[in-house]
């Protein structure tokens, strides 16, 4: 029996959510080590030794600890290839990675908790301005994503054809965030259709923040 | 003769800089299509058809157009494997991707031009607050990166051993940005040493913003 997998995460963390989906899709059992981000537990010296960035997720697997959700997803896909999270052809892989990165690089980090805290703290922004910021960057990203998905013949039931990929794994947590902040999703019908299709799968549904043991 | 490669970029764009380094390392000749970001040229309808995000870079190659710098780098590495930009082992690849993503996801997008413009415009922040923001996120990322690099036996002449990887390709443009904003790099000796080693290579040196045809 191999050592158990441990996922350092937080139920509301979108990046942790991505890794939970992938672990579920791959059928990998794991233990959760929750770090309460709003209480600052990710900044404890113990956790900083695991991840010097003090961000979640981190995944303990195969005797090592990996950080950065997209790097973890690629590692899982290389070492546990079934079902694949990337298409076989390099052009398809580039398309899927670009869709995933549109969210993981250009939307999510700008709306991350530490950034919102900086807006509230050092920049003294009121809640309304912080909420405006949050929705601005999601809407900006979703407009581009909707354009990319709705104009491509490669979009299928999911972001790339009819198989789940890294792109869907990044899309769904961002859609859930947008719903939490009551962003109107009607301008993004393709994206909403794909997120709904993904959420009908148990691997996505079980990974939802509300279904985690540390959910409040 | 295969069709020429076209890189849609901007001399000051760090993400374009990454792709320039990779094209140089792989020995691939390319044509530059500059889009002046500070004049908003990336928002023209023509360019939005190429990249709905209105961001650079985009690379025309093999009859297709790819976006998102990290996805482009992986595509180049899959289709033009020499010299490799990722180690052969999955654990090493995960480490390199995580180091690259620490910069490409958690530093660079938060300091991107469109974010700084939002701070100046809708949030009415003065220049000093914008500069403070800029350096805060670089320093935050560099502290974590320095800790990750200085405590790992896998760090060598470059971020991962003695061969250039995606991590170095992401590191160098961020270091150049930090220097432009006069950030003190002395707390980050490992990172500075690696960036200097990389910049001694012609592939990095030729990719510098100041060496581009659209440089001002």
Nearest CA in chain B to A149: B52
Q: Which residues of A touch B113 (CB under 8 A)?
A: none
Q: Does residue B210 sit within a domain?
A: no
In the predicted structure, residue A11 carries a pLDDT above the cut 60: yes
Q: Which residues of A touch B106 (CB under 8 A)?
A: 53, 55, 109
* Residues A78 and A96 placed together within one structural domain of the fold: no
What confidence tens digit (pLDDT) does each residue in B14-60 have? Answer: 999 999 999 999 999 999 999 988 888 888 888 888 888 888 999 99
The residue from B83, B100, B134 where one domain ends is B83
Tally of domains within chain B: 2
In this structure, the answer to whether residues A101 and A191 fall within a common structural domain is yes
Same domain membership, residue A190 and residue A160 = yes
Q: Are residues B57 and B136 in the same domain?
A: no
Order of strands across the sheet that contains B30-34? B30-34, B5-9, B58-61, B64-67
pLDDT tens string A167-185: 999 999 999 999 988 889 9
Q: Which domain holds residue A21?
A: 5-83
B54·A118 Cβ contact <8 A: no
Q: What is the pLDDT of residues B160-215, one digit of tens each?
A: 999 999 999 999 999 999 998 888 999 999 999 999 999 999 999 999 999 999 99
**Given an 8 Å threshold on Cβ–Cβ distance, is B53 in contact with A129?**
no
Q: Do A123 and B115 touch (CB under 8 A)?
A: no
CB contact under 8 A, B97 and A52: no
A181 belongs to a structural domain: yes
- What is this model's ipTM? 0.96
The C-alpha atoms of residue B21 and residue A6 are separated, in whole angstroms, by 37
Q: Are residues A73 and A98 in the same domain?
A: no
Residue B216 is assigned to a structural domain of this protein = no
Q: Is A201 exposed, middle or buried (0-12, 13-18, 19+ CB in 10 A)?
A: middle
Separation between Cα atoms, residue B17 and residue B207, nearest integer Å: 6
Q: Check B68 against A98: CB less than 8 A apart.
A: yes
Q: How many CB atoms lie within 10 A of CB B203?
A: 19
Q: Which residue of B has its CA nearest to A94?
A: B71
Among the candidates B27, B62, B83, a domain finishes at: B83
**Alpha-carbon gap: B215 to the closest alpha carbon of chain A (Å):** 25
Quick one: CA dihedral A198, A204, A206, A208, positive or negative? negative
Same domain, A20 and A104: no
User: Nearest CB to A53: which of B64, B71, B144?
Assistant: B144
In a domain, B211, yes or no: no
Residues A94 and A63 in one domain: no
Whether residue B98 sits in one domain with residue B184: yes
Task: Give the residue from B68, B83, B98 where a domain finishes.
Answer: B83
Residue A215 lies in a domain: no
Co-location of A127 and A168 in the same domain: yes
B78 and B120 inside one domain: no
Residues A98, A71: one domain?
Answer: no
């Amino acid at each position: 029996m191999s050592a158990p997998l441990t996922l350092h995460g937080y139920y509301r963390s979108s990046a942790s959510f991505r890794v939970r989906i992938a672990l579920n899709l791959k059928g990998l059992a794991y233990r959760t080590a929750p770090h309460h981000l709003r209480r600052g537990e990710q900044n404890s010296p113990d956790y900083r030794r695991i991840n010097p960035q003090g961000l979640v997720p981190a995944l303990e697997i195969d005797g090592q600890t990996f950080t950065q959700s997209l790097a973890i997803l690629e590692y899982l896909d290389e070492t546990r290839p079934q079902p694949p999270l990337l298409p076989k052809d390099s052009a398809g892989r580039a398309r899927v990675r670009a869709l995933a990165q549109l969210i993981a690089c250009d939307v999510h980090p700008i709306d991350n908790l530490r950034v919102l805290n900086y807006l509230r703290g050092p920049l003294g922004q009121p809640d309304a301005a912080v909420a405006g910021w949050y929705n601005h960057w999601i809407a900006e990203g979703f407009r581009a994503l909707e354009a990319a998905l709705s104009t491509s013949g490669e979009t299928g039931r999911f972001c790339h054809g009819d198989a789940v990929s890294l792109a869907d794994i990044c899309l769904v947590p961002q859609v859930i965030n947008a719903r939490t902040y009551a962003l109107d999703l009607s301008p993004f019908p393709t994206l909403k259709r794909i997120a709904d299709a993904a959420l009908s799968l148990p691997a996505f549904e079980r990974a939802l923040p509300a279904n985690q043991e540390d959910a409040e």
